[in-house]
């Protein structure tokens, strides 16, 4: 895994972070091997034990051509679906590089995607986030503000009502540093896209150093 991360960059991070990556690649390869086999067999014939009046064996189609092509089409469609799913996951790697504790993507105020790599949260398992308060609290021609999620630790509310904002443009909007002497996290807000009245933004998390006693 260290080699994959060091030598293959983001693709290596996908291999390391997505535990089914090898299975996905293997399944896609297996599907296309089956397709190639089906197409080859559909054009292969064998001699029958039955012969004609001249003693020439009849030819038997091992795999019907129509069946072979329908199987190939269905297999390719399945392979494309799997490949697209892997690609969709792969697109999230840059965000995981930036927010290794996880992130949540919103279209305006609605959750559209969330990634929480639990293996990176070691030592911060007691921290939970309440995303219900997350929303755009200011949206003018030039400015925007976003309410960040509440932070809960050991079932107790640790931080609430935190907002961050800035110029209304694609990019980082800042965030907040929350924690204690046991551990801390950064909450960040970042605008990913602005299209007319629709705003896509991400709330992401990074590990912070524990606060001094």
Q: pLDDT per residue over 44-59, tens digit each?
A: 767 666 766 777 776 6
Listed by start position, the domains of the chain span 2-90, 97-208
Angstrom distance (rounded) from CA 202 to CA 104:
6
- Which helix (H) or strand (E) covers residue 153, if one does? strand 150-153
3-class secondary structure, 197 = coil
Give ∠ CA 82-83-88 in degrees, rounded to 5. Answer: 100
Give the Å distances, CA to CA, from 10 to 90, 93, 98, 199. Answer: 8, 6, 12, 26
CA-wise closest residue to 90 among 20, 31, 1:
20
Per residue of the chain (213 residues), what is the pLDDT tens digit?
455 545 555 555 555 555 556 677 778 888 888 888 877 777 776 766 676 677 777 666 666 777 777 888 888 888 787 777 766 666 556 677 788 888 888 887 667 666 665 555 566 677 788 888 888 999 998 999 999 988 888 888 888 899 999 999 988 899 888 877 677 888 899 988 888 778 888 888 888 777 665
Rounded Cα distance between 121 and 126, Å, is 9
Main-chain dihedrals φ then ψ at residue 140, nearest 5 degrees = -110, -170
pTM: 0.56
Q: How many CB atoms lie within 10 A of CB 156?
A: 8
């Amino acid at each position: 895994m260290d080699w994959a991360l060091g030598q293959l960059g983001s693709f290596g991070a996908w291999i390391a972070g997505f535990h089914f990556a090898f299975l996905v690649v293997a399944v896609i390869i297996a599907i296309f091997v089956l397709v190639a086999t089906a197409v080859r067999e559909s054009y292969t014939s064998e001699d029958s034990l039955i012969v004609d009046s001249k003693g020439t064996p009849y030819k038997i189609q091992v795999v019907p051509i129509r069946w072979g092509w329908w199987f190939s089409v269905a297999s390719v469609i399945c392979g494309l679906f799997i490949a697209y799913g892997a690609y969709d996951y792969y697109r999230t790697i840059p965000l995981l590089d930036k927010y290794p504790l996880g992130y949540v993507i919103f279209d305006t105020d609605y959750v559209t995607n969330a990634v929480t790599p639990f293996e990176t949260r070691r030592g911060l398992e007691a921290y939970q986030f309440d995303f219900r308060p997350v929303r755009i609290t200011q949206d003018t021609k030039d400015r925007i503000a976003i309410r960040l999620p509440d932070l809960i630790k050991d079932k107790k509310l640790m931080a609430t009502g935190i907002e961050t904002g800035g110029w209304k443009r694609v990019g980082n909007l800042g965030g907040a540093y929350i924690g204690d002497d046991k551990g801390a996290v950064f909450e960040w807000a970042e605008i990913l896209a602005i299209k007319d009245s629709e705003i896509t933004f991400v709330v992401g998390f990074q590990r912070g150093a524990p606060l001094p006693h």
